[in-house]
């Protein structure tokens, strides 16, 4: 964080050329880079190119006085964080307080003592640098926290969400259903005979299959749908604001696609059993998930490689 004076650029804004000369000489002698503007209007025009680290601003000037110039600087995103020190012959308490209220960091009255002015300039440059440094650290920390949160909610193998988000997402969708009356549907997917694939061909082949299944799910779901690796070879799909009848085409297509993933070994076809349900009013998330799980096991009991839809008039669709 340490910087030398010649790393800093200071902008002096004053309509009096003698004031600019005296102040500029003091600051240059101390090693600072100096830019000047003879009015508030000129300063505002030049700032995009000068990009000063600190502004020394007079008050009594034509066109925009120092207070109006300060107000405009603090209202502009590109300049609002530049520290401003008023340097003025006005020593009225109300005017000094007004300057602070407008966003100035300090106020130096003329005639000033050179050593005090330099000390204040150096202090506010260091404070500004420290704020910038802390801002960058804070940004990096937020990014790291967001990355950790994302990794904590992501299955490392498939890249899908993991079951950690299942409860909060189901609660959120059920709450939305209660508020807005929009339905929510849930499906559970289990790969048939996955253990045999691991046993016969090794876990690497099993992992490759899970990655491929996750890819097929991402490719065949809407952006608003949520695919979760529930664990092992089980996946959970959440369909927000969607009735059961509206997801049948999508689930039937997914079931058919998964049943075509048998290119791993001719002797070991890959199929999936899927159970799907629609949430009941006032149903808790555990009950909803339990019904989806039961529907999936019903598909297995009926011979696997099919989708079972639990409705009021329960029926089975085999593929």
**Regarding the domain delimited by 5-143, which CATH topology (the fold level of the hierarchy) does it fall under?**
Rossmann fold (3.40.50)
Predicted pLDDT of residue 129: 87
CATH number of 161-318: 3.30.70.270
Mean pLDDT of the chain: 88
Least trusted range by pLDDT, from 3-12, 26-35, 36-45, 49-58: 3-12
State how far Cα 23 lies from the chain centre: 45
Select which of 53, 106, 233, 293 is catalytic.
233
List pLDDT tens digits, range 71-110.
999 999 889 999 999 999 998 999 999 999 999 999 998 8
Q: In what order do the strands lie in the sheet with 33-37?
A: 33-37, 9-13, 54-57, 84-88, 106-109
Predicted pLDDT of residue 315: 42
Instruction: Give yes or no for residue 261 having a pLDDT over 80.
Output: no
2 is catalytic: no
Instruction: Give yes or no for residue 190 having a pLDDT over 60.
Output: yes
- Exposed/middle/buried for residue 160 (C-beta within 10 Å: 0-12, 13-18, 19+): buried
Per the model's pLDDT, the better-predicted residue between 170 and 48 turns out to be 170
Per the model's pLDDT, the better-predicted residue between 14 and 319 turns out to be 14
Measured between alpha carbons, how far is 84 from 57 in angstroms, rounded to an integer? 7
Neighbours of 211 (CB within 10 A): 14
Predicted pLDDT of residue 263: 52
- Give the residue from 168, 162, 172, 196 showing the smallest Cα distance to 271: 196
Predicted pLDDT of residue 40: 92
List pLDDT tens digits, range 37-60.
999 999 999 888 888 999 999 999
Predicted pLDDT of residue 221: 93
List pLDDT tens digits, range 193-246.
888 888 888 888 889 899 999 999 999 999 999 999 998 899 999 999 999 999
Measured between alpha carbons, how far is 197 from 235 in angstroms, rounded to an integer? 17
List pLDDT tens digits, range 110-128.
888 999 999 999 999 999 8
Q: Delimit the domains of the chain by residue range.
A: 5-143, 161-318
Instruction: Give yes or no for residue 167 having a pLDDT over 80.
Output: yes
Predicted pLDDT of residue 317: 42
Per the model's pLDDT, the better-predicted residue between 268 and 119 turns out to be 119
Please, which pLDDT band fits residue 255 given cuts at 50, 70 and 90? confident
Q: Which pair of tokens denotes residue 61?
A: 């000037």
Least trusted range by pLDDT, from 14-18, 19-23, 182-186, 195-199: 195-199
Predicted pLDDT of residue 264: 53
Instruction: Give yes or no for residue 2 having a pLDDT over 60.
Output: no
Measured between alpha carbons, how far is 189 from 201 in angstroms, rounded to an integer? 22
- Per DSSP (E only), the strands in the chain are 9-13, 33-37, 54-57, 84-88, 106-109, 161-162, 185-191, 226-231, 234-239, 272-278, 306-310, 315-318
Per the model's pLDDT, the better-predicted residue between 292 and 137 turns out to be 292
User: Following DSSP, what letter does each residue of 146-165 receive, concatenated?
Assistant: HHHHHHHTB-TTT-SEEGGG
Predicted pLDDT of residue 277: 96
Predicted pLDDT of residue 213: 92
Predicted pLDDT of residue 262: 59
Predicted pLDDT of residue 7: 81
Instruction: Give yes or no for residue 318 having a pLDDT over 50.
Output: no
Please, which pLDDT band fits residue 33 given cuts at 50, 70 and 90? very high
């Amino acid at each position: 964080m340490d910087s030398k004076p010649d790393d800093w650029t200071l902008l002096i804004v004053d309509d009096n050329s003698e004031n600019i000369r005296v102040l500029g000489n003091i600051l240059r002698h101390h090693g600072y880079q100096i830019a000047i503007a003879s009015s508030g209007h000129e300063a505002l025009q030049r700032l995009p190119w000068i990009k000063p680290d600190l502004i020394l601003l007079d008050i009594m000037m034509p066109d925009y006085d120092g207070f109006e110039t300060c107000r405009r600087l603090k209202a502009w995103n590109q300049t609002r964080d530049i520290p401003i020190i008023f340097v003025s012959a006005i020593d009225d308490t109300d005017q000094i307080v007004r300057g602070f209220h407008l966003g100035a960091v300090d106020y130096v009255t003329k005639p000033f003592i050179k050593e005090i002015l330099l000390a204040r300039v150096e202090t506010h440059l260091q404070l500004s640098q420290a704020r910038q440094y802390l801002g960058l650290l804070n940004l990096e920390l937020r990014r790291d926290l967001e990355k950790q949160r994302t990794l904590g909610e992501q299955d490392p193998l498939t890249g899908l969400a993991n079951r950690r988000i299942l409860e909060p997402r189901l609660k959120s969708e059920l709450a939305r259903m209660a508020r807005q009356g929009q339905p929510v549907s849930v499906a559970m997917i289990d790969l048939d005979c996955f253990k045999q694939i691991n046993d016969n061909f090794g876990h690497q082949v099993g992992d490759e299959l899970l990655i491929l299944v996750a890819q097929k799910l991402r490719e065949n779901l809407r952006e608003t749908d949520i695919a979760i690796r529930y664990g092992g070879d089980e996946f959970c799909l959440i369909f927000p604001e969607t009735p059961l009848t509206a997801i049948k085409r999508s689930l039937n297509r997914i079931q058919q696609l998964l049943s075509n993933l048998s290119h791993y070994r001719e002797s070991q076809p890959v199929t999936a059993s899927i159970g799907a349900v629609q949430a009941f009013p006032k149903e808790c998330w555990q009950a909803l998930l339990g019904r989806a799980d039961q529907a999936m096991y019903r598909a297995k009991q009926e011979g696997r490689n099919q989708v079972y839809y639990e409705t009021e008039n329960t029926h089975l669709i085999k593929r």
